[in-house]
Chain A
Amino acid sequence: MMKDYRKKVPDDSDDGKLSQEDQQLVEMLRSGLDALDKTVSVSEPDPAAFARQMDMNRSLIHRKFIRDLLIFLVAALSLLGAMGLALFRLPVLFVILYAAGLAFPMLLVRKEHERVREE
């Protein structure tokens, strides 16, 4: 039997009292969603099948970790190589890259702030 996760008393404490019209609407919403639960049958997963799925997930996580690690190492080595080369051969380019590297994350943060404010 599935646990009833829904709180027994809906939390209206930060909402004030709902109007009678809204209460009716909320009741309709609850019964509509309960009907959806009855219509879409979701059975308890078979333990053996679930274990297989978990094993697949584990190997997926492992592969993803290896892939991410390789991407990180290649990117880090390329970046360090490029920066080292720029520092010793073209110091001006190094300064430009360094400044761009500082400015770019700041621009991203600012853009994200604006997006959140607009929401």
Chain B
Amino acid sequence: MQNNEEIRLIEQAQKGDGQALQLLLQRHYTFLVRYLVKITLQPYLAEDLAQETMLRCMEKIRLYNGQTQFSTWMMTIASRLFIDYTRKQKRERRLLEQEQSLRKLKWQGQQAGEAGLEMWEALASLEEEQRLAVILKHYYGYAYDEIAAMLNIPAGTAKSRVHNGLKALRKELEA
């Protein structure tokens, strides 16, 4: 449930209150970047996409209808921007950038003594659309219908992406 203050901020932002919109977006910024880091595995790309998501939210705030959480609405915009990005970029270039970023992330993770680095590598091996579906389902806990609405795909497709994604993850971790 959204709290009353957030609902008030959304209403004010929809009426054109720039400060309310700023406060609203500022409160969700960290969460948004973290979500984008998880799905892209590239912190710089995540920052860029977060900026673009903010811009879209500013443009479309009047279209937000309150049927989902505000954070879910932002995640939807961010996910679709990420999918657009993957479709526009050449696959080879994308994989190269991801590999470089992942190497740097793993080094940082090792320095920080973090466990679970092999999972990052396994996630990086998934197709972006599968990775997105798996993370939305099993990290954020969304239902297939919700994932389908967020990614604008049929629920059956969402389910098969999650299923195949988990299968591919297991295979990658066993290799």
Minimum distance in angstroms from B9 CB to a CB of chain A: 14
Minimum distance in angstroms from A59 CB to a CB of chain B: 11
Residues B89-112 near A (CB distance < 8 A): 105, 108-109, 112
Residues A39-79 near B (CB distance < 8 A): 39-40, 42-45, 47, 50-51, 53-54, 57-58, 60-61
Q: Does A6 contact B (CB under 8 A)?
A: yes
Residues A6-57 near B (CB distance < 8 A): 6-7, 9-11, 13-15, 21-22, 25-26, 28-40, 42-45, 47, 50-51, 53-54, 57
A42–B31 Cα distance when bound, in Å, is: 9
CB–CB B58/A57 < 8 A: yes
Q: In the assembled complex, which residues on chain B have CB atoms less than 8 Å from the CB atom of A13?
A: 143
Q: Does A119 contact B (CB under 8 A)?
A: yes
Across the interface, A30 reaches (CB within 8 A) one of B29, B37, B138, B173, namely: B138
Q: Does A2 contact B (CB under 8 A)?
A: yes
Main secondary structure of the interface of A (DSSP, over half): helix
| B interface size (C-beta, 8 A) | 51
| A interface size (C-beta, 8 A) | 43
Residues B1-33 near A (CB distance < 8 A): 18, 21-22, 25-26, 29-31, 33
CB–CB A9/B22 < 8 A: no
Closest to B145 in A: A14
Q: Does A5 contact B (CB under 8 A)?
A: yes
CB–CB B142/A57 < 8 A: no
CB–CB B18/A14 < 8 A: no
Q: In the assembled complex, which residues on chain B have CB atoms less than 8 Å from the CB atom of A33?
A: 38, 119, 135, 139
Q: In the assembled complex, which residues on chain B have CB atoms less than 8 Å from the CB atom of A38?
A: 112, 114
Residues B132-159 near A (CB distance < 8 A): 134-135, 137-145, 153-154, 157
Q: Does A113 contact B (CB under 8 A)?
A: no
A2–B29 Cα distance when bound, in Å, is: 10
CB–CB B58/A28 < 8 A: no
Q: In the assembled complex, which residues on chain A have CB atoms less than 8 Å from the CB atom of B81?
A: none
From known contacts A2-B31, A25-B170, infer whether A31 and B55 are also in contact, taking CB-CB under 8 Å: no
Closest to A1 in B: B30
Q: In the assembled complex, which residues on chain A have CB atoms less than 8 Å from the CB atom of B134?
A: 29
Closest to B165 in A: A29
Minimum distance in angstroms from B134 CB to a CB of chain A: 7
Closest to B38 in A: A33
A75–B57 Cα distance when bound, in Å, is: 28
Closest 8 CB pairs of A and B: A32-B119, A7-B141, A32-B116, A35-B114, A10-B141, A35-B116, A42-B33, A11-B143
